[in-house]
Amino acid sequence: MAKNKNTKKEELKKAKPAEKSKPETKEIEDEEEEQFDELVNEEINPYEVLGLDQSKSKEITEQDIKKAYRRKALTTHPDKATNEEEKAIFHTEFQKVAFAYSVLSDAERRKVYDRTGSLSEVESEASFRDLFSDLCKAEVSKELIEQDKKEYRESGEEEQDILKYYKEGKGDMEFIFENVIHSDVLEDEERIRGIIQKAIDEKVVPAYSKFTKESATSKKKRRLAATKEAQEAEELAEELGLNKARAKANSDEDALALLIKSRHQDKFSSLINQLEAKYADEPKKKKKKSKN
């Protein structure tokens, strides 16, 4: 077993990307164009991708869309993957999330989609493609995640989500940890249990037996699984030199990367706001498709 694990790590080490040359950058841009067109042709439902109820689209606000995007971006971004196989899956999912947000974050594009149920009327906008491209390039740094976690908890949003998923999962703690962003079994279980118990005592939520009667064995099993997962993730990160790679990325001259990583940007939403401002001020140009 150890031999197979080491072999896998060696393969992952070799798979680490080198610095990109100009031809490689062009290839990446071409790939993004292809991926964009594939998503348009796939006719994905942007509301479903972001976990929003389309039947209530008239009630969904810009803040709701930003919140949904943030949640999905933080849970599907390739930077959060612990191995190459997972990274490929996250890459595909994150592209859909970026695409969905690119549609719904613009009032006009959203209006067209709501009216027609199709993306064909908006997909040729250059600003649409550019926003999608920028979002796909965005990196989720450790600082960004920590700041978002702080804001998420202090705003009361976390407590709302905990109680929401407590009710949806009928008291299942596994379900809560799967759905509440930034939640960690090892660090947060007692705190989250305290929030739920307080809500039960105050008659805000019902007392589900899955929560009130969960066995000590079940709790221990969850902690052991979380401990093992954390150890494996840390070990793999060290083996792949991910910390060094991320430190080096701070010298990257890419404007968007600098924006995201900058210590002066203390909110996750600042990224979204900056991108919105950038594309809202531009005239909506049509981008001609190249003919084969």
Q: What is the pLDDT of residues 197-230, one digit of tens each?
A: 999 999 999 999 999 999 999 999 999 988 988 7
pLDDT at 151: 84
- Structure-model confidence comparison of residues 63 and 171, the more confident one: 171
Supply the mean pLDDT for the chain: 70
pTM of the full predicted structure? Answer: 0.49
pLDDT at 33: 57
Q: Does the pLDDT at position 236 exceed 50? A: yes
CB neighbourhood size of 13 (10 A) = 11
How many Cα atoms occupy the beta-carbon half-sphere of 216 within 13 Å?
0
User: What would the 3-class secondary structure string for the chain be?
Assistant: CHHHHHHHHHHHHHCCCCCCCHHHHHHHHHHHHHHHHHHHHHCCCHHHHCCCCHHHHHHCCHHHHHHHHHHHHHHHCHHHCCCHHHHHHHHHHHHHHHHHHHHHCCHHHHHHHHHHCCCCCCCCEHHHHHHHHHHHHCCCCHHHHHHHHHHHHHCCHHHHHHHHHHHHCCCCHHHHHHHCCCCCHHHHHHHHHHHHHHHHHCCCCCCCHHHHCCCHHHHHHHHHHHHHHHHHHHHHHHHHCHHHHHHHHCCCCCHHHHHHHCCCCCCHHHHHHHHHHHHHCCCCCECCCCCC
Cα 258 to Cα 255: distance, rounded to the nearest angstrom? 5
Q: Does the pLDDT at position 263 exceed 60? A: no
Residues paired with 286 in a beta bridge: 125
Q: Does the pLDDT at position 11 exceed 90? A: no
User: What are the tens digits of pLDDT across the range 122-175?
Assistant: 554 444 555 455 555 555 566 767 777 888 899 898 999 999 999 999 999 999
With cut-offs at 50, 70 and 90, classify the pLDDT of residue 265: very low
Closest C-alpha among 175, 173, 207, 209 to residue 192: 173
Q: Does the pLDDT at position 1 exceed 50? A: no
Closest C-alpha among 105, 119, 115, 108 to residue 38: 119
Q: Does the pLDDT at position 82 exceed 80? A: no
Out of 1.10.260.40, 3.30.70.2740, 1.20.58.410, 1.10.287.110, select the CATH number for domain 32-138: 1.10.287.110
User: What are the tens digits of pLDDT across the range 84-122?
Assistant: 787 788 877 888 888 888 888 888 888 888 888 876 665
Cα 205 to Cα 199: distance, rounded to the nearest angstrom? 6
Residues 6+ apart with CB under 8 A from 179: 161, 165, 168, 169
Closest C-alpha among 8, 5, 28 to residue 17: 28
